[in-house]
Amino acid sequence: MIEQTLVGPKRTYELDANFVLPGIDVQIRTYHREAPTHTGIVCSRHLLSVSLSGRPRSSIGRYIPDRRETEPLHLGNIIFVPGGVPVVGYGPGGVEQSLSCRFDFGAFPELAQFERDISEDWLRACGDIRAPQMKEMMRRLAFELRSPGFARETIIDLLVRAAIVDVVRCTRQPEEKKRHYSGGLSPMQLRRLTDYITNSLERSPTIPELARACDVSAGHLMRSFRQSTGETIHAHVQRIRIERAKLLLKEKRSVKETAYLLGFATPSGFAVAFKRLHGQTPSEFRRSASC
């Protein structure tokens, strides 16, 4: 699958120029849209799109990672769509000329962050990349496509690779600023942490394991987690375990079996932890849940 239309008519365009390098496909396209448009695509390759004629200010869009839509965002003159992430856009129509660079998934180490979990902050930055130097580079790239000169392939390769670096720099800024000012974990790191805990409840994951899941040191994890959530890692793990225990008890599992499934050393240790967080013993909760 190279590019698939999700909603709206299939996008039609005139191909004004095209150049292909290993892992890279660069094109200049002219779109003719007679009426306001509502289109959605998903592409197996990363896409950098630059409006050479100027994207209308009323253009808005949403990214849809993992089947959850981001909040609506303004689509600027330079946008980046990570491979495999659907995007839906709304525009007023008209003629638009764009420069598009498509990068093969997995071909560029610099883009590896877009091939893992991506936070909404990153995606929001992708929808409107504001980098004057990048704008000038893309205009130079468009000129090379239209009017090839000496060492054309070298110039195009250098400009495209510089654009890749600028995409990463510009989209990382909101996340890095948030970490710099808050000192806590990013939303993506918190989501990874919770997912790892949820999938490891039967053996109570260790701090070093959780730190590796977030790609931070154990010390940084303990400090940053409390700053981000107001609770300790241990308290967070216990709270998730007890919430799972409540579901198991509602399914008529015995207290002993529930303690075993959630990795508690003894049923009595489980009962103490359960009552501390829930105010009832597991047996009391099990009886009340069956009423």
> Contact 115/105 with Cβ under 8 angstroms?
yes
Q: Tokens 């600023």 appear where?
A: 177
Question: pLDDT grade, residue 181 (50/70/90)?
Answer: very low
Question: Residue 1: pLDDT above 60?
Answer: no
Contact 130, 169 (CB under 8 A): no
pLDDT of residue 13 exceeding 50, the answer is yes
The confidence score (pLDDT) of residue 140 equals 94
Q: Is the pTM of this model over 0.85?
A: no
Spatial strand order of the sheet with 94-103 comes to 13-21, 24-33, 94-103, 46-51, 78-81
Residue 95 pairs with which residues in a beta bridge? 32
Hey, how many other C-beta atoms are within 10 angstroms of the C-beta on 23?
14
Taken in order 109, 136, 58, 38, is the CA torsion positive or negative? negative
The pLDDT value recorded for residue 287 is 84
Query: How many other CB atoms are there within 10 angstroms of residue 131's CB atom?
Result: 16
Residue 5: predicted pLDDT: 67
The confidence score (pLDDT) of residue 8 equals 65
Mean pLDDT along residues 17-23: 94
Find tokens 């409390």 and name the residue: 226
Q: For residue range 271-288, list pLDDT tens digits in order.
A: 998 888 888 899 988 888
Answer whether residue 177 shows pLDDT above 80.
no
**Structure-token match 């129509």, residue found:** 93
DSSP line for 58-78: T-EEEE-GGG-PPPPEE--SE
pLDDT at 291: 60
CA-CA distance, 202 to 265, in Å (whole number)?
11
Q: What is the pLDDT of residue 179?
A: 47
21 pLDDT more than 90: yes
Angle subtended by helix axes 187-198 and 207-214, to nearest 10:
140
| pLDDT for the residue numbered 185 | 81
pLDDT at position 187? 80
DSSP 57: T
Q: What is the pLDDT of residue 165?
A: 92
pLDDT per residue as tens digits for the range 128-142:
998 888 889 999 999
Count of CA atoms in the C-beta half-sphere (13 A) of 48: 28
At position 261, the amino acid (one-letter code) is L
Percent of the chain with pLDDT over 90: 27
Mean pLDDT value across the chain: 85
| Weakest mean pLDDT among 64-73, 100-109, 188-197 | 64-73
263 CB contacts (<8 Å, ≥6 apart)?
Answer: 201, 202, 203, 204, 241
Residue 180 has pLDDT above 50, yes or no: no
DSSP-based three-state secondary structure for 142: helix
Q: Give residue-wise pLDDT tens across range 58-80.
A: 888 888 887 677 788 888 999 99
